Amino acid sequence: MTARNVARTATRPARPSATPSSKRRGGPRPGADPEKTRRAIFAAAADLFSRRGFDGVVVDDIARAARVNKAMLYYHFEDKLGLYREIVQDMLRDAGERMTAIAGGSGSPDARLARFIAEFVALADGRPYFPTLMLREIAEGALHLDANTLALMRVVFLAFGRILSEGQQRGVFRPVQPVLAYMTVLGPVLLNAARERAAAQPGRQQLPMFVRVPHGDLTRHMQDVAKRMLQKDVE
């Protein structure tokens, strides 16, 4: 090595050290709206997960659908699993708060149960991706749900159980198995969402099982089924 090369080496600036893997990569472009980007990623992922399931979606699919650089996904969310869980938890947090308020609110147990059902349908309407996403997840054994997510599911079930228990204590509802009653009351929302997804495919609109059912009719049907299931036999 010549003296000139030694001098160049000595004066060359050191390369910056690699970013630790624990820190998020990338960042928003100057002038970009980070919250808008985050919402776009969330919405794109929610739709894809509901259509293909967790394993059927890769990060590139989400970035492409959201029209963002893949690095932005890792900036806003830890990874694909973290994003998936945030989508599920977002719905469950909202549902838990609303259902708990209804369960602890005023009115008779049967009136609160009717509000519980109507609110659940409204929540699903506001997040149309959720019923089919959750149906897929439960069918696959809820393998992607951690303890925090399951705890949020428990809040919704406990709100239902509180209404059911109070109705039984007051002599309004007959004794039933709470889990079976819960599935009977809320199952139609999930199944109807899956039916609507199938009905949206070309050439199926004329099939009788795929006719459009207004969600107001769905709500009233579920309320009527719940009432008939829980009402005490007249002696």
Please state, in angstroms and rounded to a whole number, the distance separating the CA atoms of residues 192 and 234. 32
- For residue 5, give Cα distances in angstroms to 65, 91, 151: 50, 63, 64
Which residue in 222, 220, 108 sits closest to 168, CA to CA?
A: 108
Q: What confidence tens digit (pLDDT) does each residue in 51-93 have?
A: 999 999 999 999 999 999 999 999 999 999 999 999 999 999 9
Please, what CATH class does the domain formed by 25-77 belong to? mainly alpha
DSSP 144: T
**Residue in the structure block whose two tokens are 């009432």:** 227
Q: Which residues pair with 231 in a beta bridge?
A: 173
Sequence ranges of the chain with CATH classification 1.10.10.60: 25-77
CATH architecture of 86-230: Orthogonal Bundle (1.10)
Q: Which residue intervals of the chain bear CATH 1.10.357.10?
A: 86-230
Signed CA dihedral, 177, 101, 129, 67: sign only: negative
Q: Is 88 helix (H, G, I), strand (E, B) or coil?
A: helix
pTM passes above 0.85 = no
Query: How do residues 172-229 score in pLDDT, each as one tens digit?
Result: 999 999 999 999 999 999 999 989 989 988 888 788 989 999 999 999 999 999 999 9
Q: 26 — alpha (psi -120 to 50), left (phi > 0) or beta? A: left
